[in-house]
């Protein structure tokens, strides 16, 4: 479980996230909805153990994150796969990109051998790489240069990259923003599949229908913190908070 307790995040004088309490269980999909610029990405960076909160505590599977030393924190972060909105693939083949998470987890002597082999010729693609590219429907692009992919393909490779090393949690920042409806469906299916395998998924999205389709719980981020968080049905059909209701009905315009 990833657990944020009374977490706040400020950059200088500007508070981006204020007093947020949120837990993500294995095997559930939590959607964070809200307009652009409201702090969804900051919240994901806190969940992904990237940013140290200015107040509050973050725990992963019961272990406090920010009182741990850097090495322990790295091990904790390795349980989480974060996919940022910007695909930012490495300047290498698709296969090498998807392999990256597996490679950094190998001991150094294996990595060195792997690098030497790759100079001589191909050393085969790990099954996990093929599998996760298969999930996003790009198994035919293994050897293509990542920088030559289209925006939508790059976004799907970026998703496959996080899936390959089998994380316990997946954090996705607008995972379908560059995708056509068909590929949006592919990714949403992959998210549900990941959930069924016991992965805890957090999706930040401004697409309320997407949240409704895939999430078990929804958090509505309108100001510095959640106006409301609860089961998807409750949020969409019976919101208790006035601003949530206005946001969902489209009356609240930012």
List of residues contacting other proteins (CB under 8 A) = 48, 50, 74, 77-78, 81-84, 86, 88-92, 100-101, 104-105, 145, 147-148, 158, 161-162, 165
Nearer to other proteins, 162 or 191 (CB): 162
Q: How far is the CB of 101 from other proteins (least distance, A)?
A: 4
Nearer to other proteins, 106 or 123 (CB): 106
Nearer to other proteins, 51 or 227 (CB): 51
Question: Can you give the chain as a three-state secondary structure string?
Answer: CEEEEEEEEEECCEEEEEEEEEEECCCCEEEEECCCCCCHHHHHHHHCCCCCCCEEEEEECCEECCCCCHHHHHHHHCCEEEECCCCCCCCCEHHHHHHHHHHHCCCHHHHHHHHHHHHHCCCCCCHHHHHHHHHCCCHHHCCCEHHHCCHHHHHHHHHHHHHCCCCCEEEEECCCCCCCHHHHHHHHHHHHHHHHCCCEEEEEECCHHHHHHHCCEEEEECCCCEEEEEEHHHHHHCCCCHHHHHHHHCCCCC
Q: How far is the CB of 202 from other proteins (least distance, A)?
A: 13
Tokens standing for residue 2: 């990833």
Tokens standing for residue 150: 């289209």
Q: How far is the CB of 15 from other proteins (least distance, A)?
A: 22
Nearer to other proteins, 3 or 99 (CB): 99
Tokens standing for residue 204: 């930040």
Nearer to other proteins, 91 or 127 (CB): 91
Nearer to other proteins, 75 or 238 (CB): 75
Q: How far is the CB of 172 from other proteins (least distance, A)?
A: 11
Q: How far is the CB of 121 from other proteins (least distance, A)?
A: 20
Q: How far is the CB of 174 from other proteins (least distance, A)?
A: 14
């Amino acid at each position: 479980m990833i657990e944020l307790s009374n977490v706040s995040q400020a950059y200088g004088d500007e508070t981006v996230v204020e007093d947020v309490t949120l837990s993500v269980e294995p095997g559930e999909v939590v959607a964070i909805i809200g307009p652009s610029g409201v702090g969804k990405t900051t919240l994901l960076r806190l969940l992904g153990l990237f940013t140290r909160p200015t107040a509050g505590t973050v725990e992963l599977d019961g272990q406090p994150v920010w009182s741990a030393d850097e090495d322990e924190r790295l091990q904790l972060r390795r349980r989480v796969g974060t996919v940022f909105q910007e695909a930012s693939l490495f300047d290498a083949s698709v296969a090498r990109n998807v392999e990256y998470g597996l490679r950094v987890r190998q001991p150094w002597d294996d990595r060195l051998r792997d690098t030497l082999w790759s100079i001589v010729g191909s050393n085969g693609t790990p099954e996990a790489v093929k599998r996760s590219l298969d999930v996003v429907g790009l198994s035919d692009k293994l050897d293509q240069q990542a920088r030559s992919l289209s925006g939508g393909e790059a976004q799907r490779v970026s998703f496959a990259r996080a899936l390959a090393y089998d994380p316990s949690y997946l954090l996705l920042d607008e995972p379908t923003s560059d995708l056509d409806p068909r590929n949006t469906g592919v990714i949403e299916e992959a998210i549900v599949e990941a959930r069924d395998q016991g992965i805890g998924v957090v999706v930040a999205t401004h697409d309320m229908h997407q949240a409704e389709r895939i999430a078990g719980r929804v958090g509505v981020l309108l100001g510095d913190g959640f106006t409301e968080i609860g089961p998807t049905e409750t949020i969409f059909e019976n919101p208790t908070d006035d601003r949530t209701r206005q946001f969902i009905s489209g009356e609240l315009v930012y």
